[in-house]
Amino acid sequence: DREPAAGTDAYGKGGPWLADGARLDDDVFFSAPRSLRLDCTGKFLYVPQYLRTKKLKPDTRYRISFFVKGRDLRPLLYRDGGACIELNDGGGRHWMRHPWPYLFGTFDWMGLRFELKTGKDAKKMAEHGFVCLRIINATRTAWFDDIRVEEIP
C-alpha cells in the first residue's frame, strides 16, 4: 500500500516511501519545486528517509536544518503532540526529536536546526541511519521542506 515517490530531488535519490496521508505538494513550498505534506487524521504519521546516499560517520558532529509550516495542528495530549523531525544515527545512540515541545497550531514557514554527535558504530550507521518527518499525537497538516543533514567541520 506504499508507493515510492518518483523523482523526489528534495529528499534524496530514490525519495522517501510515502505513507497514507503524505504527498509531495507542488503548490505549497518554501523552496521550489515542492514540499512534503503530511495530513494526519489519526494518532501519528511519519515518513522516514534512510541516509544511504549520505553515510553518517562515527563520532562526528552533524547539523540538521529544515523548514516547516503548520495548519491547525491539534495535540491529542496536552502539549505532547505536533510536528517534528527525528534523526536516528543507526548506531542506537541517538533518537532525537526536534523541536521540543513539538510544533502545533497554525504557523507560517519557519527555519529550524539542531546539532548532534553520532555514536561510534559506523557499520550500523551506514545501514540504518535515517531522518524521519512526523506528526505525533496530533491531527491536521504540516509541510516540510529544504531538509539538510550536514557535517560540522
Number of C-beta neighbours around residue 84 at 10 A:
24
Cα–Cα distance, 73 to 81 (Å, whole number): 9
Place of cell 527525528: 86
The helix/strand/coil state of 4 is strand
Largest separation between any pair of C-alpha atoms in the chain:
41
pLDDT of 81-139, one tens digit each?
899 998 877 766 556 778 888 899 999 999 999 888 887 776 666 666 778 888 988 99
Cα–Cα distance, 62 to 16 (Å, whole number): 21
pTM: 0.81
| Cα distances (angstroms) measured from residue 145 to each of 8, 64, 128 | 12, 12, 23
Higher-confidence residue of 14 and 84: namely 84
- Least confident range of 44-48, 65-69, 88-92: 88-92
Report the percentage of the chain scoring pLDDT > 90: 32
| Cα distances (angstroms) measured from residue 58 to each of 31, 90, 106 | 31, 10, 38
The helix/strand/coil state of 122 is helix
| pLDDT at residue 91, as a whole number | 66
- Least confident range of 3-7, 34-38, 96-100: 3-7
